[in-house]
Structure 1
Amino acid sequence: MLILKNVTAVQLYPAKVLEGVDIAIENDVIVEVGDVLTHRYPAAQWKEMHGRIVMPGMVCAHNHFYSGLSRGIMANIAPCPDFISTLKNLWWRLDRALDEESLYYSGLICAMEAVKSGCTAVIDHHASPSYIAGSLSTLRNAFLKIGLRGMTCFETTDRNDGIKELQAGVEENIRFAQLIDRAKHAKTEPYLVEAHIGAHAPFTVSNAGLEMLREATKATGRGLHIHAAEDRYDVSHSHHIYGKDLLARLAEYDLITDKTLVAHGLYLSAEDIALLNEQDAFLVHNARSNMNNHVGYNPHLTHIRHLALGTDGIGSDMFEEMKFAFFKHRDAGGPLWPDSFARALVNGNELLSRNFGAQFGRLEPGYKADLTICDYPAPTPLLADNIAGHIAFGLGSASVHSVMVNGVMVYEDRQFNFDCDLIYSQARKVAAEMWRRMDSLA
């Protein structure tokens, strides 16, 4: 047993602040939160926390770890006057340039930076059309190396090679889900990575692809992870080609369930939102990405039953993402306050609960010991009623001191237990080679 002694225990939802308490952890779960637990458990090891904030780990509910080597990209990118040209000129060239080595280092860099930002888990959505079979295992290896919890899936699409590409993407999703099932049964490694069944967006997945995805979700018991209505084009395409709203089309193939994760959703119809809510599915809001891609603002946030926050590949700093989500909402004239976005941030843990079959997101007995630990000398009283305001206007990723995942300190006193410089050095070389491959695909 390990006791974190003298902590400021903070929950964002239900909001709670307890000063000067201890947290007892047995293996990978919280056993007790209370006063002077070192007396109650005298044989336990303990770490003095000096009053630091200890909170349930933050989850980035939609990310793209394949984009980790795109920062400051020096490939020749044609002008991108709209969202579709951004996809074609930048992201769809980058994902085609990925190979096993560049994907692995991209995953390592993203996982390291997620942990340093205070994330205990990331829900990833992957694409590498030139390296499909085995790609999700490469990402899993990166998660396990760093000690980050997460989920991943392959972005099924027909945009490069039609039905053949659709089939290969679905097969990789199924193969990976089955690998996870075998690994869980064997219990030879920590159970840190789970699977979704992935698809790019409705406008690049034909009905034949949706049928394949239906069979994959049924065969594996996993849910769909897909972009939808990120841009108006997705909606227009669905109406023009299929005569249907986006989610109504997916629902015809049994793809909207309580394990479904829909990213963006800026232009969903009222009927689609009602369907999402009725099926208990999740929408993930990615405020900074929407701003960066100039696709507009999601006016439906107050109507979504299960709302979570993601970054869509712009790092994994969920403190910053919550701030942007709140400020952009206020700028758009929205009625929500920081506590609503704190709850959306916490909701990423509910996605983990549904997929890992365990409890996440609270400092209570029986919940997973996935914890974010911060140095934050609050300049004003820190209370349950104002903790969300402290995050919106103060507490940030620079305060992250340590991160625990599955009961293990994977990042302690702002240090990993491996050579980070070596990884960054190799990543720079691999990135330059990948950029050259991108130019050859122009």
Structure 2
Amino acid sequence: MLIKNCSLITWGTSNQILPDQSIRISSEKIEEIGPSAQLLPREKEEVLDARGQYAMPGNICAHTHFYGAFSRGMAIPGPAPRAFPEILEKLWFPLDRSLDLEDVRYSALVCLVNAVRYGTTTLIDHHASPNAIAGSLDVIAESVLEAGVRASLCYEVTDRNGLDQAEAGLQENLRFLSWLKSRPEFLGILSGLVGLHASLTLSDGTLQRCRDLTPEDVGFHVHVAEHFADEDDSLAKSGTRVVDRLARFGILGPKTIAVHCVHVDQRESNLLADSHTWVTHQPRSNMNNAVGMAAVESMLRAGIKVCLGNDGFSNAMWEEWKAAYLAHKLWHRDPRRMNGNDFIQMAVYNNAEMVTSQFDGLRAGELSVGAAADLMLVDYQPITPLTSGNLPWHILFGFNESMISTTIARGKLLMKDHELVTLDEAKIAYEARQRAANVWKRYEKQFIAA
């Protein structure tokens, strides 16, 4: 494919904005970049005319939950939850117990429709369906392959439904990792981690078993200190804080993702930095759950690779960027907090480096020769000068997702001129509505039984 007549936003180590360029894609990677007048079509090469739109790398989501899709619009019986532990008990735990394998499939598909429409081409998912564990990661992988994006998958191991289900969750992770190793054709498309819910739902025995059975070259994906109840529980169980406890069991490391880290202290931050553990920040979720704001600016200064996810909110990742920029100013009552370079460091550069780590060296998140052909076209008409220096503020105050006209991943068109190519959005939405209604009925029965 040759994409011509576009203005490039390259990101990369030195971001550039290059007008009137063409991009040649071959074997799922960027083969050439050059002026449109010089980069001419080859015989039988598909040509896509960008008509002056901006071409920029596809967005990356460093932590999400596809399975939460059917929570949209769902009423929680009784009084509203007062704090995050009650949100888990009243919403997320009964919801994930209400899913069967086809619900898992369609909750993934609706999120993937959303990702393609909003230019998000790589996602790191964390899954739970306690009554449909075996094969659940295969179902999600099939949906990812159908959509055409990239994803890292795992199943959430937890003791909250008993030791048998904890073991079943671990075995689902290990089975999926083994299957991936037998399928080299999916290298750079699918990857896997061992999922852990959170310290507060994991016993010492389960943590030790996960560590003992997980291959040394595989990381973990775990919620960490999202609410101070996680720290209280860890202190009561072990006499140590959450990150110290995870470190004791060998869970931290350069492949492991620690999600949220809202209530970690300085010692825990040092452990995260020294172990090269990834941390992901999800400001929309943190605001919604009223759990506080992680000290991500301090973490970045300490050398922690803080990335940006969405925790199951929409895959419109620019919305997460904007939330990160604004929420910290309000939280600290200081307009100097969370400058544009900080959220770009998380959302662009650190997210891209995480993808390289999780996908066997794949170079994503930039437009350069040899990088993954994951990109989007954005129909943005700036009303003030747009430069590499002021680009973050154009994205914050000018860009919106409706401007994304075309999404390409692995060198293939997933959406062209706002029309999805790989997924039937109307059919998926129709089936999801039917399935969600039944999920809600099963969810409500759990409250009646309780």
Query: Which secondary structure does the structure 1 equivalent of 2:263 belong to?
Result: coil
Name the structure 2 match of 1:360: 364
Q: In 2, Cα distance between the equivalents of 1:133 and 1:392?
A: 42
Query: Which secondary structure does the structure 1 equivalent of 2:214 belong to?
Result: helix
Give ranges in structure 1 of 5+ residues lacking alignment.
none
Query: Which secondary structure does the structure 2 equivalent of 1:248 belong to?
Result: helix
Give ranges in structure 2 of 5+ residues lacking alignment.
none
| 1:3-402 alignment runs, 5 A limit | 3-13=2-12, 14-36=14-36, 39=39, 42-43=42-43, 44-74=45-75, 76=77, 78-161=79-162, 163-184=163-184, 187=185, 191-218=188-215, 221-304=217-300, 305-331=304-330, 332=332, 333=334, 335-346=337-348, 347-357=350-360, 358-402=362-406
Query: Which secondary structure does the structure 2 equivalent of 1:244 belong to?
Result: coil
Q: In 2, Cα distance between the equivalents of 1:190 and 1:413?
A: 29
What TM-score does the superposition give when structure 1 sets the normalisation length? 0.95
Name the structure 2 match of 1:424: 429
Q: In 2, Cα distance between the equivalents of 1:144 and 1:108?
A: 10
1:229 shift after superposition: 0.6
The answer to whether the Cα contact below 8 Å between 2:11 and 2:367 also exists between their aligned partners in 1 is: no
1:227-275 residue CA offsets vs partner (Å, 9 max, x unmatched): 0010000011111210112112111222111111111001111111111
1:190-214 residue CA offsets vs partner (Å, 9 max, x unmatched): 8522111100001111111111221
1:74 shift after superposition: 3.9
Query: Which secondary structure does the structure 2 equivalent of 1:266 belong to?
Result: coil
Q: In 1, Cα distance between the equivalents of 2:213 and 2:379?
A: 44
Q: In 2, Cα distance between the equivalents of 1:355 and 1:300?
A: 22
**Gap change, CA 1:141 and 1:78, over 3 Å in 2:** farther
Q: In 1, Cα distance between the equivalents of 2:60 and 2:95?
A: 26
Task: Give the counterpart letter for 2:414 in structure 1.
Answer: V
Q: In 2, Cα distance between the equivalents of 1:439 and 1:213?
A: 33
1:101 shift after superposition: 1.2
Q: In 2, Cα distance between the equivalents of 1:202 and 1:246?
A: 6
The answer to whether the Cα contact below 8 Å between 2:187 and 2:359 also exists between their aligned partners in 1 is: no
Task: Give the counterpart letter for 2:102 in structure 1.
Answer: E
Query: Which secondary structure does the structure 1 equivalent of 2:20 belong to?
Result: strand
The answer to whether the Cα contact below 8 Å between 1:287 and 1:321 also exists between their aligned partners in 2 is: yes
The answer to whether the Cα contact below 8 Å between 1:273 and 1:303 also exists between their aligned partners in 2 is: yes
1:335 shift after superposition: 2.7
Query: Which secondary structure does the structure 2 equivalent of 1:107 belong to?
Result: helix
The answer to whether the Cα contact below 8 Å between 1:12 and 1:342 also exists between their aligned partners in 2 is: no
1:273-332 residue CA offsets vs partner (Å, 9 max, x unmatched): 111111222110000000000111222433232111111111111000000010011222
Q: In 2, Cα distance between the equivalents of 1:37 and 1:108?
A: 40
1:36 shift after superposition: 3.2
Q: In 2, Cα distance between the equivalents of 1:330 and 1:419?
A: 40
What TM-score does the superposition give when structure 2 sets the normalisation length? 0.93
Task: Give the counterpart letter for 1:290 in structure 2.
Answer: N
The answer to whether the Cα contact below 8 Å between 1:214 and 1:255 also exists between their aligned partners in 2 is: yes
Task: Give the counterpart letter for 2:197 in structure 1.
Answer: H
1:77 shift after superposition: 5.3
The answer to whether the Cα contact below 8 Å between 1:78 and 1:89 also exists between their aligned partners in 2 is: no
The answer to whether the Cα contact below 8 Å between 2:60 and 2:347 also exists between their aligned partners in 1 is: yes
Q: In 1, Cα distance between the equivalents of 2:229 and 2:176?
A: 31
Count of aligned positions: 436
Q: In 1, Cα distance between the equivalents of 2:442 and 2:141?
A: 24
Task: Give the counterpart letter for 1:310 in structure 2.
Answer: G
1:43-95 residue CA offsets vs partner (Å, 9 max, x unmatched): 34321111211111111111100011111014635531111011001100000
Q: In 2, Cα distance between the equivalents of 1:215 and 1:52?
A: 51
| 1:396-415 alignment runs, 5 A limit | 396-415=400-419
The answer to whether the Cα contact below 8 Å between 1:24 and 1:37 also exists between their aligned partners in 2 is: no
The answer to whether the Cα contact below 8 Å between 2:133 and 2:168 also exists between their aligned partners in 1 is: yes
The answer to whether the Cα contact below 8 Å between 2:10 and 2:368 also exists between their aligned partners in 1 is: no
1:41 shift after superposition: 5.7
Q: In 2, Cα distance between the equivalents of 1:167 and 1:133?
A: 11
- Between 1:201-210 and 1:77-86, the stretch displaced more is 77-86
Q: In 2, Cα distance between the equivalents of 1:109 and 1:37?
A: 40
1:38 shift after superposition: 5.6
The answer to whether the Cα contact below 8 Å between 2:156 and 2:196 also exists between their aligned partners in 1 is: yes
**Gap change, CA 1:215 and 1:396, over 3 Å in 2:** farther
Q: In 2, Cα distance between the equivalents of 1:326 and 1:26?
A: 36
Task: Give the counterpart letter for 2:347 in structure 1.
Answer: L
1:134-157 residue CA offsets vs partner (Å, 9 max, x unmatched): 111111111112112111101100
Q: In 2, Cα distance between the equivalents of 1:26 and 1:199?
A: 38
Query: Which secondary structure does the structure 2 equivalent of 1:424 belong to?
Result: helix
1:37 shift after superposition: 6.8
**Gap change, CA 1:175 and 1:38, over 3 Å in 2:** farther
